[in-house]
A and B are shown apart, each in its own frame.
Chain A
Amino acid sequence: MTQAEKSVAVSVRERIVTVLQDLGIETDLENELDLAEQFESVTFINAVLDLEREFGISIPDELLNMQIFASLDHTAEIINQLLLEQT
Chain B
Amino acid sequence: MPEPLKLDVSKFENPVVESGYKASRFNIRTSDKNGDMLLLNTYSNKFIRVPKDQKDIVADVLRKPDEALQDHQAFHELVSRGFLVQKSVDEFRRAEMLHHETIASADELSLILLPNEDCNFRCTYCYESFAKNFMKDWVQDGVIRYLEKNLHKYKTLHIAWFGGEPLTAMPIIERLSEKIMELCKKHKVMYWSSMTTNGYNLTLNVMKKLLSYNVLNFQITLDGIEETHNCTRKRLDGASTFQRIVTNLRNIRDQIPNRTFKIIVRGNINQEVLKVIGPYTDFLAEEFSQDSRFMTHWQPVGNWGGEVISSEKLCEHTDMIGHMLAAAEKGIDFSFYRRLMSSKESVCYAGQRNHFIIGSDGIIYKCTIAFDDEINHVGMITEKGTMHIDEDKLALWVTGHESTDSGCQKCFFRPSCQGASCPLMKIKHGQAPCPPMKVYFKDYMQLIAASPRNGVEELNLVEDGVPS
One of A24, A46, A58 near B214 (C-beta < 8 A): A46
**Chain A residue at minimum C-beta to C-beta distance from B188:** A24
CB distance from B252 to the nearest CB of A (A): 14
One of B192, B259, B292 near A58 (C-beta < 8 A): B259
In the complex, the number of residue pairs spanning A and B with C-beta atoms less than 8 Å apart equals 35
One of B108, B191, B260 near A48 (C-beta < 8 A): B260
User: B257 — which chain A residues lie within 8 A by C-beta?
Assistant: 58
CB <8 Å contact, A49 and B190: no
CB <8 Å contact, A45 and B259: no
- Say yes or no: is A59 at the interface (Cβ < 8 Å to chain B): yes
CB distance from A30 to the nearest CB of B (A): 22
A24 CA to B151 CA, complexed, in Å: 15
Known contacts A23-B190, A45-B216, A46-B214, A52 near B258 by CB under 8 Å:
yes
In the complex, 30 of the A-B residue pairs with CB atoms within 8 angstroms, ordered by the A residue number, are A22-B185, A23-B190, A40-B190, A42-B108, A42-B156, A42-B190, A42-B192, A43-B190, A45-B192, A45-B216, A46-B190, A46-B191, A46-B192, A48-B260, A49-B214, A49-B216, A49-B260, A52-B258, A52-B260, A53-B212, A58-B257, A58-B258, A58-B259, A59-B259, A59-B260, A60-B259, A61-B259, A61-B292, A64-B259, A64-B260
Contact with A along B182-215 (1 / 0, CB 8 A): 0001001011100000000000000000001010
CB distance from B455 to the nearest CB of A (A): 12
Contact with B along A22-53 (1 / 0, CB 8 A): 11100000000000000010110110110011
User: B212 — which chain A residues lie within 8 A by C-beta?
Assistant: 53
**Chain B residue at minimum C-beta to C-beta distance from A44:** B190
Instruction: Please name 5 further chain A to chain B contacts, defined as beta carbons within 8 Å, in addition to the given A42-B108, A46-B191, sorted by A numbering.
Output: A22-B185, A42-B192, A48-B260, A52-B260, A64-B259
Which of A23, A40, A49, A64 has the most CB atoms of chain B within a 10 A radius of its CB?
A49
User: A64 — which chain B residues lie within 8 A by C-beta?
Assistant: 259-260
Which range contains the number of A residues in contact with the other chain?
Answer: 10 to 19
CB distance from B333 to the nearest CB of A (A): 13
User: A60 — which chain B residues lie within 8 A by C-beta?
Assistant: 259
A52 CA to B257 CA, complexed, in Å: 11
**Chain A residue at minimum C-beta to C-beta distance from B189:** A24
Contact with B along A50-80 (1 / 0, CB 8 A): 0011000011110010000000000000000
User: A46 — which chain B residues lie within 8 A by C-beta?
Assistant: 190-192, 214
User: A22 — which chain B residues lie within 8 A by C-beta?
Assistant: 185, 188
**Chain A residue at minimum C-beta to C-beta distance from B184:** A46
A23 CA to B181 CA, complexed, in Å: 12
A60 CA to B212 CA, complexed, in Å: 18
User: B188 — which chain A residues lie within 8 A by C-beta?
Assistant: 22-24
**Chain A residue at minimum C-beta to C-beta distance from B211:** A49
A59 CA to B191 CA, complexed, in Å: 19
User: A58 — which chain B residues lie within 8 A by C-beta?
Assistant: 257-259
A79 CA to B455 CA, complexed, in Å: 27
**Chain A residue at minimum C-beta to C-beta distance from B258:** A58
CB distance from A60 to the nearest CB of B (A): 6
Nearest 3 interchain pairs by C-beta: A24-B188, A58-B257, A42-B190
**Chain A residue at minimum C-beta to C-beta distance from B214:** A49
User: B260 — which chain A residues lie within 8 A by C-beta?
Assistant: 45, 48-49, 52, 59, 64
A49 CA to B258 CA, complexed, in Å: 9
User: A45 — which chain B residues lie within 8 A by C-beta?
Assistant: 192, 216, 260
Which of B188, B192, B214, B259 has the most CB atoms of chain A within a 10 A radius of its CB?
B259
**Chain A residue at minimum C-beta to C-beta distance from B158:** A42
User: A59 — which chain B residues lie within 8 A by C-beta?
Assistant: 259-260
User: A49 — which chain B residues lie within 8 A by C-beta?
Assistant: 214, 216, 260
User: A24 — which chain B residues lie within 8 A by C-beta?
Assistant: 188
List B residues 363-392 near A (Cβ within 8 Å).
Answer: none
List B residues 290-349 near A (Cβ within 8 Å).
Answer: 292
A43 CA to B292 CA, complexed, in Å: 21
A24 CA to B156 CA, complexed, in Å: 12
User: A52 — which chain B residues lie within 8 A by C-beta?
Assistant: 258, 260
A52 CA to B216 CA, complexed, in Å: 14
CB distance from B250 to the nearest CB of A (A): 19
List B residues 148-202 near A (Cβ within 8 Å).
Answer: 156, 185, 188, 190-192
CB distance from B262 to the nearest CB of A (A): 11
CB distance from A72 to the nearest CB of B (A): 19
A58 CA to B257 CA, complexed, in Å: 6
A64 CA to B292 CA, complexed, in Å: 12
**Chain B residue at minimum C-beta to C-beta distance from A43:** B190
CB distance from B158 to the nearest CB of A (A): 8
A45 CA to B191 CA, complexed, in Å: 9
